[in-house]
Structure 1
Amino acid sequence: MIDNFYSPSYEVTPLTMAVIAQQDENGNTSSRVLEEQEEYVILHSPSKMIDNACKFFGSSLRGRQDGTRDICGITHKAPISIDPTSGMYFFPTTSPTNAKCSWIAHSHIDQVTQGPGRQAEVIFKNKKSVLLSVSFGSMLNQVQRTAQYRYLLDNRIKYLQRHNSDMVAEPFA
């Protein structure tokens, strides 16, 4: 069952597939949140929602973007890990400062197809889909960059887990 309603707050979770920007007739930006089983409209921009999600896990959107740059050198439209332990990797469709920027969860994507004109269709694993005003090539590039970032960050985490016994800090006596 799909529920559509306005909610003043919402937390991005591993069930969140996308946070889609939408603008009303006055130019105000809100977010259409697509989850595996539900859909919500939230009265915040997608980038604000992603920033809030990052803060929930002890960082910020800016901090996550800086981390992406340090790990793999991506500086523009950088994919981020909201929480790598739960597989929450998202990428922006445009610059996050753009009001039309939407965020897509990498792990929920089944495929990306060419839409009409300069649009791309993202088809999720649960067969829901969304048509975005982003070129097919740009969307594929974002998916690939996110996969590369995810691989590099996951390898760092696995390395630390394997060598954890060598790095345990001893408490002060």
Structure 2
Amino acid sequence: MDKNCSAASNYLVSFNTIALVPIRIENKLYTRVIENHTEFLVKMKPSSIIKKSLIYYGNSYKLATFYSREVIGRVHKPPLLISHDYGVPLIMFPTLSGESEGSIWFSSSAIDFFTFDSHNRCLVHFTNSFVLPVNVSQSTMCRQHTFSHFLTRGFQKKRTKIDHPFSQSILMPTNKTTKK
């Protein structure tokens, strides 16, 4: 990525977003936004992009964190449901604490698999064939990706209940006959 290129001043996470990578240029923290077919710099911290996106889609960081913990339990670094479209959730997960300036945020649905190179760096392979080397342990990546899967499944279960509210068996009174 050319660090001398101009940077956008604003960005919202979308289904095209695959990663938000913090990058420091001249003592300022920017975000390297990697999308399905392009990448660029944004003059915002990754956590600020996440928070702004949540607000744009009608949520907040606090409520998204609360929802995540309701579904998967009280975990450190919970993945967040940013938005959804036609029942498909857009879930992002951090590599560090969500508030940390060094945290990389990944779209869970954009990840294909992980490998490791000879320098013990995690190589994140995305569904668009892009590979991003990151200094994150295998256990962290697996844990975060697994929690994202649990959040996706929890979201889908709640959607099913909304889409089919009467599919659960309803206790009906039994028809008792009385003797005369």
Q: Does TM-score exceed 0.5, indicating one fold? A: yes
Match of 1:53 in 2: 53
Match of 2:159 in 1: 157
Instruction: Could you tell me which runs of 5 or more consecutive residues in structure 2 were left unpaired when the two chains were aligned.
Output: 168-180
Match of 1:66 in 2: 66
Residues of 2 paired with 1:58 and 1:164: CA distance?
Answer: 28
* 1:72 CA drift (Å): 1.6
Q: Is the 8 A contact 2:89 2:155 kept in 1?
A: no
Residues of 2 paired with 1:117 and 1:66: CA distance?
Answer: 37
Residues 82/158 of structure 1: CA separation in 2 closer, same or farther (3 Å cut): same
Q: Deviations over 1:61-85 (max 9, x none)?
A: 2210111011221331000110133
Instruction: Could you tell me which runs of 5 or more consecutive residues in structure 1 were left unpaired when the two chains were aligned.
Output: 166-173
Residues of 2 paired with 1:84 and 1:164: CA distance?
Answer: 23
Matched residue SS, 1:19: strand
Residues of 2 paired with 1:145 and 1:43: CA distance?
Answer: 29
4+ runs deviating over 6 angstroms: none
Residue of 99, 111, 114 corresponding to 1:109: 111
* 1:118 CA drift (Å): 4.7
Residues of 1 paired with 2:118 and 2:66: CA distance?
Answer: 34
1:10 aligns with 2:16: no
Q: Deviations over 1:26-53 (max 9, x none)?
A: 2x21100001111110011101101111
Matched residue SS, 1:17: strand
Residues of 2 paired with 1:164 and 1:61: CA distance?
Answer: 32
* 1:24 CA drift (Å): 2.2
Match of 1:91 in 2: 93
Matched residue SS, 2:124: strand
Q: Which amino acid aligns with 2:56?
A: F
Match of 1:171 in 2: none
Matches within 5 A, 1:13-24: 13-24=14-25
Q: Given the two structures, how large is their TM-score scaled by the length of structure 2?
A: 0.83
Match of 2:37 in 1: 37
Q: Which amino acid aligns with 2:131?
A: S
Q: Is the 8 A contact 1:113 1:122 kept in 2?
A: yes
* 1:129 CA drift (Å): 1.3
* 1:145 CA drift (Å): 1.0
Pair member with larger Rg: 2
Q: Given the two structures, how large is their TM-score scaled by the length of structure 1?
A: 0.86
Residues 113/53 of structure 1: CA separation in 2 closer, same or farther (3 Å cut): same
Residues of 1 paired with 2:166 and 2:34: CA distance?
Answer: 37
Cα RMSD of the aligned pairs, angstroms, is 1.9
